[in-house]
Amino acid sequence: MSVGYRHWMLDATTRSGGTATATPRAAATEFALAVPAPELAAPAPAGLAARCTRVLLSPWSRLSLLIALLAGAASTVLLFEPQRLLADGWPPELGGAVAALVFAVAYGLCTVAFVPRPLLNLAAGALFGSQLGTGAAIAGTVLGAGLAFGLGRILGQDALRPLLRGRWLKAADGQLSRHGFRSMLAARLFPGVPFWAANYCAAVSRMKYLPFLLATALGSIPNTAAYVVAGARASTPTSPAFLIAMACIALPALVGAAVAWRKRHHLPGR
């Protein structure tokens, strides 16, 4: 009961010469005015919109989007038939550095769509020669790897990481997460792991973005240059440059296979 209310009762008692008695309704009204009402809770957001947002941003929805994007990219490549460049040649209105830049962008997009890099490297050599073709192929390799890594990290990591339960998957994830640069450099230097598989495995792991790009750029140079030189000298298969390029292609593959065979017993669970 407020102080003002008690003073009002005393004044009423003094004026009447007796005892002032308040009715129950008046007392309840005065008490309600004295006690502040609690703040009303903010209205909840629209239930349907919130549920739709949660569904669209859920890990499995993003993974489904990634699969749809990759399937669409692969279908586009099949319809476009980029191998026609080797038969028809590069468009005559494009030449020099501009043509190499356009080729590098197309190279990166094709690698995201699962086009094999050896074919693209051979095409780079056949179209632009050894030096310019190597630069365009390396740029396209880094671009394609970065795009695949970003898509896999944003759209696929949250859904796929809980599925890493097998012995081989856990071993690969631990190696990429703890020794990202070294592991990716070895994967690029010694062929055996498909380019797209290495990209998405690194994206699902906890590997950092910058070490991934640096390891890809450095590790892809020898193999990419060998394929580009082979493509540039394909018209003279008995030339020393072509034979050296083929040896540089075969030797890392043999070394990688030998290292993998020796390391098989060091995997967890063996």
Confidence of residue 144 (pLDDT cuts 50, 70, 90): very high
pLDDT (0 to 100) of residue 122: 93
Mean residue pLDDT of the chain comes to 78
pLDDT (0 to 100) of residue 28: 45
Using one digit for the tens of pLDDT, what is the confidence trace for 153-198? 998 877 777 777 666 667 777 888 888 899 899 889 887 788 988 9
Least confident of 94-108, 154-168, 199-213: 154-168
Three-state DSSP string of the chain: CCHHHHHHHHHHHHHHCCCCCCCHHHHHHHHHHHCCCCCCCCCCCCHHHHHHHHHHCCHHHHHHHHHHHHHHHHHHHHHHCCCHHHHHCCCCCCCHHHHHHHHHHHHHHHHHCCCCHHHHHHHHHHHHCHHHHHHHHHHHHHHHHHHHHHHHHHHHHHHHHHHCCCHHHHHHHHHHHHCHHHHHHHHHHCCCCCHHHHHHHHHHCCCCHHHHHHHHHHHCHHHHHHHHHHHHCCCCCCCHHHHHHHHHHHHHHHHHHHHHHHHHHHCCCC
pLDDT (0 to 100) of residue 55: 64
Confidence of residue 90 (pLDDT cuts 50, 70, 90): low
Q: What is the mean pLDDT of residues 26-52?
A: 54
